[in-house]
Amino acid sequence: MWRVRVVHTTGYAYQSPVTASYNEARLTPRSNTRQNVILNRVETIPATRSYRYIDYWGTAVTAFDLHAPHTELTVSSSSVLETERPEPAAAQVTWTDLQSAAVIDRFDEVLRPTEYTPASEHVAAVGRRISKYHEPREAVVAAARWARGELDYIAGTTGVHSSGLDALERGKGVCQDFAHLTLILLRGMGIPGRYVSGYLHPKRQAKVGKTVDGRSHAWIQAWTGSWWNYDPTNDTEISEQYISVGVGRDYSDVSPLKGVYSGQGATDLEVVVEVTRLA
């Protein structure tokens, strides 16, 4: 078991004063079977009044609005939590189970194409080949490895609005793209799949007390009788190094910050993620 602190700071600088802004932050980890949240706080400069709620997908949201004119806005989330390796997925289903009306109806929302995970006949053909030789759980790993083989990880090559097919066409992308492309393949095979946002401590043998540059990360959950996590970018099941925050159909359901503001001019954006293993 690890104890980890994560500090995620986002700074906006506006070209002219913003008179009002309305925002949602999905920056708060939630306790589950493999992580226990000890504390979390989301703070803003200038200070705002906020309220929290749990969205449709089970992600914690901090909503806040600011009505005083401002040219800068900083949003900082600080969390301390304990993480463990997940328990092995016990239940397993067959392709026949996945094709049943009950499963299709239950998981309809995470089987359909989305803007970030559009349907593709080319990818579906890959899925047919994979499903011919693998049972569903093995097919998830094969799908993730196929996506990893199609994309080179190159930071900055895609934007937050790029779909999995955009990345496939370029042959390169970031963790968001690896996750989206894997989800296209899984859903095409009839395996329910969800997008997970969170953080990854980059060092397996992390020194206790040392703060390092962490990064926001994305991976997938697949349902093969129960939900389980796999990281296509690193071709591995998740471990204590992973801190999950949000889950949804794709990136649009879990974006760390979204909002609208009244004012002119584009914004400069700076994001810093610091991760410390405490124990």
Q: What's CA 3's distance to the chain center, in Å?
A: 21
Residue 268's pLDDT is what? 79
Residue 163's pLDDT is what? 95
Residue 157's pLDDT is what? 76
Start and end residues for every CATH 3.10.620.30 domain found in the chain: 95-254
Task: Name beta bridge partners: 23.
Answer: 64, 259
Residue 263's pLDDT is what? 81
Q: In this structure, are residues 206 and 188 in contact, taking their beta carbons and an 8 Å threshold?
A: no
- Does domain 2-84+255-277 fall under CATH 2.60.40.2250? My reply is yes
Positions of the chain with pLDDT lower than 50, given as ranges: none
Q: What's CA 197's distance to the chain center, in Å?
A: 2
Start and end residues for every CATH 2.60.40.2250 domain found in the chain: 2-84+255-277
Residue 155's pLDDT is what? 85
Residue 156's pLDDT is what? 81
Residue 114's pLDDT is what? 97
What is the dotted CATH code of the domain comprising 95-254?
3.10.620.30
Task: Name beta bridge partners: 60.
Answer: 28, 54
**For residues 40 and 38, what is the distance between their CA atoms, to the nearest angstrom?**
7
Q: The pTM is what?
A: 0.95
Residue 7's pLDDT is what? 97
Residue 188's pLDDT is what? 97
